[in-house]
Copies of this chain bind each other. A is one copy, B any other.
Amino acid sequence: MTAHAQPELTKNQSLVFGSLSSAGGPLTAYAILDLLREDGFRAPLQVYRALDKLVEYGMVHRLESLNAFVACAHTGCSAHGAAAFAICEKCGEVIEFAPDEALKVLNEWTKAQNFTLAGMTIELRGTCGTCKAEAV
């Protein structure tokens, strides 16, 4: 929701963020764990703790419908609002976008309901244009 100052990352947080950034797509916590075993990671908690912080800082998003995590597409990852994701079920690509108009409408709903928003998940599942083109 709100922008977060980008803090110094700890060693584990840097490693986790690095693996997600270079993956260029979503990874599960256990996939990250496997990638980081050679860096000394031994247990899921090391990954989950780092992910918690990175999500809190807005540098990583959790994809609820994949139980996976992805580095925020805003390279600098400075101010940004909630994100939406289009997930291609064929190729696995995830496109992050900022659905400003939709957010506005949803925010209006929360105001009308006196609902205080802490977080929002918007995920679209389907087939991306590229995969449809290939599936001649």
A136 on the interface (CB 8 Å rule)? no
Give A114 to B65 CA distance when docked, in angstroms.
21
- Which residues from chain B contact A109 at a C-beta distance below 8 Å? 86, 97, 99
State the number of copies, please. Answer: 2
- Which residues from chain B contact A120 at a C-beta distance below 8 Å? 122-125
Give A110 to B124 CA distance when docked, in angstroms.
9
- What residue of chain B has the Cβ atom nearest to residue A131's Cβ? B116
- Stretch from A16-24, A32-40, A44-52, A100-108 contacting the other chain: A100-108
Interface size range on A against B: 20 to 34
Enumerate A73-121 residues with CB–CB distance to B below 8 Å. 84, 86, 88-89, 95, 97, 99, 101-102, 105-106, 109-110, 113-121
**Distance (Å) between the CB of A98 and the closest chain B CB?**
10
CB of B86 within 8 A of CB of A113, answer yes
A64 contacts which of B64, B95, B106, B110 (Cβ < 8 Å)? B64
- What residue of chain B has the Cβ atom nearest to residue A88's Cβ? B115
